[in-house]
Amino acid sequence: MQKLGAEFFGTFWLVLGGCGSAVLAAAFPGVGIGLHGVALAFGLTVLTMAYAIGHISGCHLNPAVSLGLCLGGRFPAKDLPGYVVAQVLGGLAAGAVLYLIASSKAGFDVAAGFASNGYGEHSPGGYGLVAALVTEVVMTAFFLVVILGATDKRAPAGFAPIAIGLCLTLIHLISIPVTNTSVNPARSTGVALYVGGWAVAQLWLFWVAPLLGAAVGAGIYRFIGGEQK
């Protein structure tokens, strides 16, 4: 229960910090943080939580990461369902808090997106389904390569959170224009259910692509990294 609680609160922080920066701060008049700030915010949520709860639950915060670690031989399959449930519930709780905050502003319209992920007309840059699918698969795959490599027993100790946080920042810098960046089904679900409509209709992609990408990333690292020594 301690591990599941850590994943719940860790994912809560990721969604509140990352999506909150997009909803509340990205376009704030005069001092909006824009794409670069949102990308950094997502990276900082993982970096801070990795140091806070990494020693408790491993700080997955993401069903795709849990799956990739499982396929990479770093995480027991029996614990996977519980982690996924805790992560999704944490994302939904953060979405509720963010909705409560954001909806108090005059003119708020959840249909405008609420930091949801999308493709086609709901892609920030107008990118289509195939581009969104490829982007999410590739970005998640390399996220898993970095996670597995940085947490390998052969890697320098103590620096994994920095590498993983900066990797997530880089992923957002690349892919926000394409899909608003998911690489995390819990993050996508945490806001999409409050938007409904198109966000829920397109949510399938932001489960399928990250999970597929995680499997690819685990396979890549098993090939290039071999077994931990």
The 10s digit of each residue's pLDDT in 93-131 is: 999 999 999 999 988 989 888 999 999 999 999 999 999
Q: How crowded is the C-beta side of 106, counted as CA atoms within 13 Å? A: 0
The 10s digit of each residue's pLDDT in 126-171 is: 999 999 999 999 999 999 999 999 999 999 888 999 999 999 999 9
CA distances (Å), origin 77, targets 32, 71, 146, 170: 42, 8, 21, 29
What is the residue extent of each domain of the chain? 1-225
Per CATH, the number for 1-225 is: 1.20.1080.10
